[in-house]
Amino acid sequence: MKGIDSAQTLITQFADELQNIGEQMYAEFQVKQADLEKLINDSKTSQTILKIKQDELSGLYKRIQDFAASMETDIHNKQVELLEPFQKQLLEAVSKVAKAGSYNYIFDISTLLFYAPNDDLTNQVKEQIGIK
């Protein structure tokens, strides 16, 4: 369908941006973890400083987990937002073909175990959408 490639590109770019943010957060976590390990191995470090640094590291870890969970939802929502017009156009085309051919049911081929090739309406739906 015309424009779907652009939508897919935007979704990929959006996912990549979120992935980069997640990687930056993880890199920060690794640095803070290494710093904490140095402090743990330094006998001069007070327990108060260790507790503060451990809490800081735990907080960052929690933010990374929360970000990862919300990232999947954000990507899904972006997919729905950008692909919904194409899905609507496809369903409208299927509906027109169904009405024109007096079909009561039209199934997606991926759900069928067998079908007669002359019952395939793919080309008619493509024509409705304007795909050659």
Per-residue model confidence as pLDDT tens for the chain (132 residues): 788 899 999 999 999 999 999 999 999 999 999 999 999 999 999 999 999 999 999 999 999 999 999 999 999 999 999 999 999 999 999 999 999 999 998 888 888 888 888 888 888 998 889 887
How deeply is 45 buried, as exposed, middle or buried, from its count of CB atoms within 10 A (0-12, 13-18, 19+)? Answer: middle
pLDDT at residue 81, as a whole number:
95
Tokens read off for 73: 């939802």
78 SS3 class: helix
**Cβ atoms of residues 11 and 79 within 8 Å:** yes
Q: What span, in angstroms and rounded, lies between the C-alpha atoms of 39 and 29?
A: 15
**Cβ atoms of residues 57 and 4 within 8 Å:** no
**Cβ atoms of residues 32 and 60 within 8 Å:** yes
Name the packing angle between helices 4-41 and 47-100 (round to 10°): 170
pLDDT at residue 111, as a whole number:
80
